[in-house]
């Protein structure tokens, strides 16, 4: 339990694997607490029991970090959505921090306060205005003494750099993750250059989150790592990808898929896909490994189980899961009992069960925008 008292950099500096949590907005939308399109986190105030339960499920699955449910919680985004009229960003931040801390303390986890991209950046590109938005959110987090800060879901490295510069004034550790493809950000800045800019701005941890599937995100983080090495810079690496297969998305991300956001279930990753992802990420030198949209608690458990040898323990949720299907040995059907082995699940090619469905879709405009 001594290691549970370490901060995020202490753990990463020691070579420990830090398991992140999973997706919140999409899981809570499916459960009836978030409105798609808006994706704003007022549920932290309106339905705290739902948010708290999801935190607990991720913690039980093995997550070492509870990220505050504050995605898209900037005042300009809340105002633009029109979905939140009587709840302020400060109220949401306060409630989200309280819940994350409450649950984190139940299992020795860390609390990360997260800020995300703003409508203001695309509309005005005004550095002073955008930074003021991040400063306001940061001040809310500092009142709650969160453990570290996360800059997440940024399509433009310039805006992410501004966020890092602001959050770094807190004196806290800052992690920065972009939602970009191997081709680069929306202004075609290559991943390696993005990583260099973020580290020079003060980021201690850099990586990728959301928008694309795990293996694509691993590729992008590798490019970030190469960029840092060429520049002679060092930073810890982080990854929190989608829990969906998106081989045809390319630059646009999953929002360009015709199935987004209400018919993505057929693209869902299996737990065995996540085992492969966790090993690939670890082998790439990434030590902060988690998930974003589409990642449910059992996916996080798969990360923790795949890397149990490296971490030295299994999560509590593994008490209800036979490793590699071992518990199936008790099944009454012999053909199901035969599946109680790693080789079976590692080599399985799951069927979709949808005879008329294509294996790929045509992304809408490849997700490209003029901004």
What percent of the chain has a predicted confidence (pLDDT) above 70? 97
Q: Do the beta carbons of residue 190 and residue 212 sit within 8 Å?
A: no
**CATH number belonging to domain 8-323:** 3.20.20.330
Q: Which two tokens stand for residue 18?
A: 């830090």
* CA distances for 123 relative to 119, 330, 370, angstroms: 6, 59, 12
Q: What is the pLDDT of residues 141-160, one digit of tens each?
A: 999 989 999 999 999 999 99
- Residue 2 is predicted with a pLDDT of 45
90-148 pLDDT, tens digit per residue, is 999 999 999 999 999 999 999 999 999 999 999 999 999 999 999 999 999 999 989 99
State how far the Cα of 71 lies from the Cα of 68, in Å rounded to an integer: 8
Find where tokens 């703003």 sit: 118
Residues making up the annotated binding site are 210, 292-293
Annotated binding site for Zn(2+), which residues? 210, 292-293
Per-domain boundaries in the chain: 8-323
* CB contact set of 55 (below 8 Å; sequence gap of 6+): 21, 66, 99, 100, 103, 104
Give residue-wise pLDDT tens across range 311-340. 999 999 999 999 999 999 999 999 999 999
User: What is the CB neighbour count within 10 angstroms for residue 56?
Assistant: 17
Are 117 and 159 in contact by the 8 Å Cβ rule? The answer is yes
Taking only the tens place, the pLDDT of each residue in 282-306 is 999 999 999 999 999 999 999 999 9
* Per-residue pLDDT, 3: 45
pLDDT tens, residue by residue, 213-246: 999 999 999 999 999 999 999 999 999 999 999 9
State mean pLDDT over 56-80. Answer: 93
Structure tokens at 201: 């701005």
Its pTM stands at 0.95
Give the closest residue to 205 by CA, choosing from 148, 244, 243.
Answer: 148
Kindly indicate the confidence band of residue 371, based on its pLDDT and cuts at 50, 70 and 90.
low
Please check the confidence at residue 20 and state whether its pLDDT lies above 80. Answer: yes
């Amino acid at each position: 339990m001594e290691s549970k008292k370490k901060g995020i950099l202490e753990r990463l500096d020691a070579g420990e694997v830090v398991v992140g949590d999973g997706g919140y907005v999409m899981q809570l939308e499916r459960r009836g607490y978030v409105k798609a399109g808006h994706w704003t986190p007022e549920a932290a105030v309106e339905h705290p029991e739902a948010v708290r339960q999801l935190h607990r499920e991720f913690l039980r699955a093995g997550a070492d970090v509870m990220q505050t449910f504050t995605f898209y919680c900037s005042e300009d985004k809340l105002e633009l959505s029109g979905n939140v009229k009587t709840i302020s960003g400060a109220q949401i931040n306060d409630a989200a921090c309280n819940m994350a801390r409450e649950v984190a303390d139940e299992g020795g986890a860390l609390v990360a306060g997260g800020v995300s991209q703003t409508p203001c950046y695309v509309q005005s590109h005004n550095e002073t205005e955008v930074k003021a938005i991040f400063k306001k959110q940061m001040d809310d987090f500092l009142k709650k003494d969160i453990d570290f800060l996360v800059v997440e879901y940024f399509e433009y490295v310039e805006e992410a750099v501004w966020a890092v510069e602001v959050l770094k004034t807190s004196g806290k550790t800052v992690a920065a993750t972009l939602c970009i493809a191997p081709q680069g950000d929306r202004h075609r800045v290559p991943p390696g250059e993005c990583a260099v800019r973020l580290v020079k701005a003060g980021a201690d941890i850099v990586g990728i989150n959301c928008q694309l599937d795990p293996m694509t995100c691993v590729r992008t983080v590798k490019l970030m790592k190469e960029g840092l090495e060429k520049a002679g810079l060092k930073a810890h690496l982080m990854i929190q990808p989608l829990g969906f297969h998106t081989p045809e998305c390319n630059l646009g991300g999953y929002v360009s898929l015709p199935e987004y956001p209400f018919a993505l279930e057929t693209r869902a990753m299996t737990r065995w896909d996540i085992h492969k992802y966790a090993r690939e990420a670890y082998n790439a030198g990434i030590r902060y490994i988690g998930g974003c949209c589409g990642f449910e608690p059992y996916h996080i458990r798969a990360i923790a189980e795949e890397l149990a040898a490296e971490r030295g323990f299994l999560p509590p949720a593994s008490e209800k899961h036979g490793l590699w299907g071992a518990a199936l040995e008790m099944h009454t059907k012999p053909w199901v009992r035969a599946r109680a082995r790693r080789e079976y699940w590692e080599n399985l090619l799951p069927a979709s069960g949808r005879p008329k469905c294509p294996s790929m879709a045509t992304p809408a405009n490849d997700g490209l925008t003029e901004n």
